[in-house]
């Protein structure tokens, strides 16, 4: 029987979103369903008329699979339950979204997002009686219940490549090179890229560090006969006494940033080594998806449509040990996963002699 389903991308963009969309469209088409692509996340439903385009397999040509970003657009302009208004107040605009959803006459909607987006989408769904299925995406990989979220693999790949490129300059100039990478509150990118990219020091928000420990490792590297060191730091890392670095954008939005620069200063001061910082920034998000992100995205997109066909809702698709599984979204949000200090990769890092700044 023919159905109309919706799909939207929510929160920060990342690599693999288009591969999810393509997979869902292909699978839905096999079932004879129509897919409505809602534009700009929930913002497309805050307009007077719902903003969308109907997605057909013919439009999902092979390049969509390979393209970073999202062809549907996305926003993080604000929580519709307390939407920031131009006059500085906030307003509950959730009713507008629910009304627009209903106008579209969709049977169910696939929401591609992270924990923040899921919390909002779920509440909207409950409020409006909308059936929803979630697909996890976040370069931070901090969603529970799934080994990987879409976008993480590409982000780590770009960060590792950056360390590979900084190493020769570090060695040529006897320098400490510091790479500041993304990671809202979880250090997964820094930890994985740091191990894979040959870092000597990895600083993550989950572990407290001291400048003394950082300096001790740099000294040990030098004493071992190497003239340079590589440091990777998650943008969410604070100073040892808990000060937070933030950049205020021109729209008032605040973001992490600046810890790399702080560290460069401290390291030069304490060790006498010349040090330089590189802030990797947005190139971690928009890069073309790795094969892993395309594969995961394709598996998730197909499976989300299956869940709708099976009448299973309010669930998130997940990947565990080579298999697709699914869990109640609520459980996934609750299972937020920063790095556990007893984590396998923490152990790996220590086994390689990498300093995590805490010892």
Cα separation of 296 and 148, whole Å?
Answer: 8
Place of tokens 């993480």: 152
Task: Rule CB under 8 A: say whether 172 interacts with a copy of itself.
Answer: yes
- Residue closer to a copy of itself by CB (options 63, 89) is 63
**Active-site choice (140, 142, 153, 326):** 140
Task: Quote the least distance from Cβ 38 to a copy of itself, whole Å.
Answer: 14
Task: Rule CB under 8 A: say whether 156 interacts with a copy of itself.
Answer: yes
Task: Rule CB under 8 A: say whether 169 interacts with a copy of itself.
Answer: yes
For 275, half-sphere exposure in the C-beta direction (CA atoms, 13 angstrom radius) is 25
Nearest-5° Cα angle at 115, 101 to 118: 15
- Residue closer to a copy of itself by CB (options 132, 318) is 318
Nearest-5° Cα angle at 328, 322 to 331: 95
Q: DSSP string of 24-47?
A: HHHHHHHTT-EEEEETTGGGGGSS
Task: Rule CB under 8 A: say whether 222 interacts with a copy of itself.
Answer: no
Task: Quote the least distance from Cβ 29 to a copy of itself, whole Å.
Answer: 8
Say how many Å lie between the first and final Cα of the chain, rounded: 62
Q: Tokens in use for 27? A: 């699978």
Site string for a copy of itself, 136-155 (x = CB under 8 A): -----------x-----x--
Task: Quote the least distance from Cβ 57 to a copy of itself, whole Å.
Answer: 7
Q: How many residues line the site for a copy of itself (CB under 8 A)?
A: 100
- Residue closer to a copy of itself by CB (options 201, 287) is 287
Work out which of 47, 99, 168, 312 binds a copy of itself, going by CB under 8 A: 168
Does residue 241 sit in helix, strand or coil? Answer: coil
51-110: contacts with a copy of itself (CB under 8 A): 57-58, 61-63, 65-70, 73-75
Q: Mark whether 140 is an active-site residue.
A: yes
Task: Rule CB under 8 A: say whether 305 interacts with a copy of itself.
Answer: yes
Place of tokens 């605040």: 254
- Residue closer to a copy of itself by CB (options 95, 265) is 265
Work out which of 107, 306, 314, 358 binds a copy of itself, going by CB under 8 A: 306
CB 247 within 8 Å of CB 193: no
30-49: contacts with a copy of itself (CB under 8 A): 30, 40
CB 306 within 8 Å of CB 126: no
Where helices occur in the chain by DSSP H, the ranges are 17-30, 62-66, 94-104, 115-128, 152-173, 188-196, 211-223, 259-271, 283-286, 291-309, 329-334, 344-351
> Which window, 128-136, 209-217, 234-242, 264-272, contacts a copy of itself (CB under 8 A)?
264-272
Task: Classify burial at 1, counting beta carbons within 10 Å of its beta carbon; exposed 0-12, middle 13-18, buried 19 or more.
Answer: exposed
> Which window, 26-34, 94-102, 115-123, 235-243, contacts a copy of itself (CB under 8 A)?
26-34
List the catalytic residues. Answer: 140
């Amino acid at each position: 029987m023919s159905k109309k389903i919706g799909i939207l991308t929510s929160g920060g963009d990342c690599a693999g979103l288009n591969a999810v969309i393509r997979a869902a469209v292909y699978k839905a088409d096999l079932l004879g369903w129509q897919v409505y692509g809602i534009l700009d996340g929930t913002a497309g439903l805050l307009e007077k008329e719902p903003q969308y385009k109907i997605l057909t397999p013919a439009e999902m040509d092979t390049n969509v699979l390979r393209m970073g970003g999202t062809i549907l657009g996305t926003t993080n302009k604000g929580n519709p339950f307390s939407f920031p208004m131009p006059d500085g107040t906030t307003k509950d605009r959730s009713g507008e979204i629910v009304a627009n959803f209903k106008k579209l006459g969709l049977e169910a909607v696939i929401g591609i997002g992270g924990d923040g987006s899921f919390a909002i989408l779920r509440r909207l769904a409950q409020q409006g009686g909308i059936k929803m299925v979630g697909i996890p995406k976040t370069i931070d990989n901090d969603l529970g219940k799934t080994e990987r979220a879409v976008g993480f693999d590409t982000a780590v790949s770009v960060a590792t490549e950056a360390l590979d490129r900084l190493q020769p300059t570090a060695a040529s100039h006897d320098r400490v090179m510091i790479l500041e990478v993304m990671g809202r509150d979880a250090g997964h990118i820094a930890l994985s890229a740091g191990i894979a990219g040959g870092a000597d020091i990895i600083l993550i928000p989950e572990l407290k560090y001291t400048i003394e420990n950082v300096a001790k490792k740099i000294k040990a590297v030098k004493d071992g006969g190497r003239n340079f060191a590589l440091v990777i730091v998650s943008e969410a890392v604070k100073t040892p006494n808990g000060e937070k670095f933030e950049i205020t954008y021109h729209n008032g939005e605040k973001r992490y940033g600046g810890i790399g620069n702080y560290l460069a200063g401290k390291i030069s001061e304490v060790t006498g080594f010349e040090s330089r910082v590189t802030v990797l920034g947005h190139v971690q998000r928009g890069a073309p998806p790795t094969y892993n992100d395309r594969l995961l995205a394709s598996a998730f997109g197909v499976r989300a449509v299956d869940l709708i066909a099976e009448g299973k809702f309010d669930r998130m698709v997940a990947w565990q040990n080579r298999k697709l599984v699914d869990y109640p979204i609520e459980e996934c949000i609750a299972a937020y996963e920063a790095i556990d200090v007893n984590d396998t990769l923490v152990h790996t890092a220590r086994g390689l002699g990498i300093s995590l700044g805490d010892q």
